[in-house]
Amino acid sequence: MNNSQAEPMVELWRGGLLESVHRGHAVICDDMGEIVESWGNPAEIIFPRSSCKMIQALPLMESGAFDAAGLTEAHAAFACASHYGAALHTTMARTWLEGLGMGEADLRCGAHEPRDLVERNRLIKTDESPCQYHNNCSGKHSGMLTMNRHLKGDPEYTEVDHPLQRAIKQAFEEVTGEASSGWGVDGCSAPNFATSLHGLARAMGRFAGATGTGDKRDRAMYRLTRAMAKFPELVAGDTSCDTELMRAMDGKVTLKGGAEAVHVAILPGLKRGIALKIVDGSARASDAVIAALLVRLGVLNRDHKYTRTRLNAVQKNWRGKETGVLKLTAGFL
């Protein structure tokens, strides 16, 4: 990651002194993939992490496997989720796989503690261990298992040379408009293909321009985008940036964050796609920048309570005392 070309975007001030600076790259593209505005280096190569889940779901939709399984709009949103492992999330993952004649053991995402506090506390009180349904990527993996059944593939669907992952890579390179420069293993064990920030923004611009009346890809992009915006509670969880800001924009914009401070936005009304990456991997900074860009483009109210908790946000300690402020760097935007 080239820090020398990254632009200072977010600062933390404490006691009137600058304490921390977060630098990053950001690109806004139109529906033709052309750069409208950029900061830092648009050619920076990144791993999109979970921000590209709607791209990973394209083969599922385009192949007909999704509709053949009798799935709904809610399932489409959940296939693109980085959820909190709340009861509604684990229930959806379980019932989805049961409908396919499968179960938790068929997943290859691994288990981790849920971010949802109610479910986490329930597990503690009942001395129950988290399972793979709690994994924040269990929706994506449920979609992958659906597609794998359609392909009649072997059970190890996360291997990079598996037909499923080859189909995902092909779709990924087509919508980003460039050959992937490499791949890594994501936190959920699936391959994550690298691209430039411009490539990721180009893909989001294409999602934004989908009409739902074109070819298979156009229709798949349209369905996934609208489903995510319609069911923000399935995409992440209460208190998350994605869920709260999509609610604040009344489902007019689709958001998706990824690990290590990657964030994308799809704005159908403006036919714009956004992709950003904070170099140091700080989610507090990527949340602030995506909120700032959405305000700049006129789709998010600066004074909405969900905006204020991320943009120029007052910091408080455990006693409720104000300790500082997280704000945009002077000159950025």
What is the pLDDT tens value at each position of the chain, 333 positions in all?
666 699 999 999 999 999 999 999 999 999 999 999 999 999 999 999 999 999 999 999 999 999 999 999 999 999 999 999 999 999 999 999 999 999 999 999 999 999 999 999 999 999 999 999 999 999 999 999 999 999 999 999 999 999 999 999 999 999 999 999 999 999 999 999 999 999 999 999 999 999 999 999 999 999 999 999 999 999 999 999 999 999 999 999 999 999 999 999 999 999 999 999 999 999 999 999 999 999 999 999 999 999 999 999 999 999 999 999 999 999 998
CA 153 to CA 144: how far, in whole Å?
A: 11
pLDDT of residue 150: 97
pLDDT of residue 1: 64
Residue pair 273/206 in contact (Cβ under 8 Å)? The answer is yes
pLDDT of residue 333: 85
- If we measure between CA atoms, which residue out of 206, 204, 299, 302 comes closest to residue 246? 299
CA 23 to CA 11: how far, in whole Å?
A: 9
Kindly give the interhelix angle for 117-125 and 87-99, rounded to the nearest 10 degrees: 80
CA 224 to CA 240: how far, in whole Å?
A: 20
Residue ranges covered by each domain of the chain: 7-328
Q: What is the DSSP string of 86-153?
A: -HHHHHHHHHHHHHTT--GGG--S-----S-HHHHHHHHHTT----GGGSTTHHHHHHHHHHHHHHT-
What's the predicted TM-score (pTM) here? 0.96
All residues at 6 or more sequence positions from 287 whose CB lies less than 8 Å from its CB, including other chains: 241, 257, 263, 310
pLDDT of residue 45: 97
Task: Give the torsion through C-alpha atoms of 201, 295, 278, 286, to 10 deg.
Answer: -110
Q: Hey, which residues does 325 pair with through a beta bridge?
A: 13, 314
Distances (CA, A) of 151 to 129, 138, 186, 302: 32, 19, 23, 46
What CATH architecture does domain 7-328 belong to?
Answer: 3-Layer(aba) Sandwich (3.40)
CA 146 to CA 63: how far, in whole Å?
A: 11
pLDDT of residue 2: 63
Residue pair 293/310 in contact (Cβ under 8 Å)? The answer is no
CA 186 to CA 171: how far, in whole Å?
A: 18
Distances (CA, A) of 249 to 76, 91, 98, 302, 325: 20, 27, 34, 11, 24
Q: Hey, which residues does 113 pair with through a beta bridge?
A: none
- H-run or E-run covering 285: helix 283-296
All residues at 6 or more sequence positions from 306 whose CB lies less than 8 Å from its CB, including other chains: 244, 245, 247, 248
- Say if residue 7 is exposed, middle or buried (CB neighbours under 10 Å; 0-12, 13-18, 19+): middle
CA 116 to CA 119: how far, in whole Å?
A: 6
